[in-house]
Amino acid sequence: MLYNLMNDRIFTSIFNDSKNKNVTARFLSDFLGIDYEYLRDNMKIKVRKRPIEIYSNPYVEFDLYVSLPDMVINVEANNRKRNEKSFAYAGKSYYENYDSKKEKVKKKVIQLNLNNYEKRDKEIEEIVPKDSVNTKYLQNSVIFEFFLPAIKELCYDEADERTKKIISWSVILLEKDINKVEREVMKVLTKEDVPAFIEKMRKLCEEEKAEEFWENYHANVDNINHIIKTERQLGKKEGIVVGEKKGIKKGIKEGKNQGRYEIIRNMLNINLPIELIISSTGLSEKEILKIKDDIYNIEKNNEVLVL
């Protein structure tokens, strides 16, 4: 499995599925300590987009937004440090539920941030937001920061029951090994919910893999073509170098032949016996006599011998 539940597409596909309410209710119950049956029977999952003016994309999709009779819960899966988008969501959720006439919040606003980065001083942090105008604590609003890598490393055997569930969920959210995910899922979900959860995880990871492939398809093709073009250019350069080397070898060979011609001509000019020239050069009598004739003809016509 190449991906985990912190992948935006996989996260939203799992927890925003209304047919998957049992899993979403259990997930929120374990992290927030809210009664599971209350969540399951009363929550409404709202898949929606909200305008965020401070971002280049005018519409940013929630990871998970749940509405209940007395509260709203917004969940964000963050893979980078202090994602400002999460706090923007918390503020907007608060003011959406603020009754200006009665000067109070109609529903409690809970922001749950699941962070995929280390936080050494504490694994879980609870933040009560302050109003930027009068610095009073905002009514009925809270932000929970869960630092998953740190939670994942807690000692499971020494933890209380709720913390054990949060540890298991941290493994489920971060782990890319489907076998390890399945072991942890069995600790937090019912036996009836486990098979469908695992099957959906496998399918979503495969779809994400395919999606990533097609997103990068043209880039990959361009990259391959570039490699082929580069290899061809390198091959051409290498061919030229080899050709030049072969040309040098040919020149050396021709030089050697020309040198041999000079030696044989000098030997013949001083009237050395053919037998001595044969023993000195390794050439046959027929070859030496041919060279002798060539020398005579070339010098007669004032040409250069090329052997």
49-65 pLDDT, tens digit each: 544 443 344 444 678 88
Q: Name the CA dihedral angle for 181, 159, 82, 46, rounded to a multiple of 10 degrees.
A: 60
- Residue range 71-117, pLDDT digits in tens: 989 898 887 665 555 566 666 666 566 666 655 667 788 889 898 87
Q: Which of 167, 102, 108 is nearest to 138 (CA)?
A: 108
Kindly report the number of other CB atoms within 10 A of residue 36's CB atom.
14
Question: Can you say whether the dihedral through the CA atoms of 97, 101, 103, 106 is positive or negative?
Answer: negative
Long-range contacts of 252-258 (CB under 8 A, 24+ apart): 254/306, 254/307, 257/306, 257/307, 258/305, 258/306, 258/307
pLDDT category, 40, cuts 50, 70, 90? Answer: very high
Question: What is the DSSP code string of 29-85?
Answer: HHHH---HHHHHHH-EE---EEE-TTSSSSEEE-SEEEE-SSEEEEEEEESSTT-HH
Query: Token digits for 265?
Result: 């001509």
Per-residue model confidence (pLDDT) at position 102: 59
- Is residue 140 within 8 A of residue 129, CB to CB? The reply is no
Q: Where are the domains of the chain?
A: 8-215, 221-301
User: pLDDT, tens digit, for every residue of 203-255?
Assistant: 888 877 766 665 665 665 565 556 556 656 666 666 666 565 556 555 555 55
Place of tokens 């486990």: 194
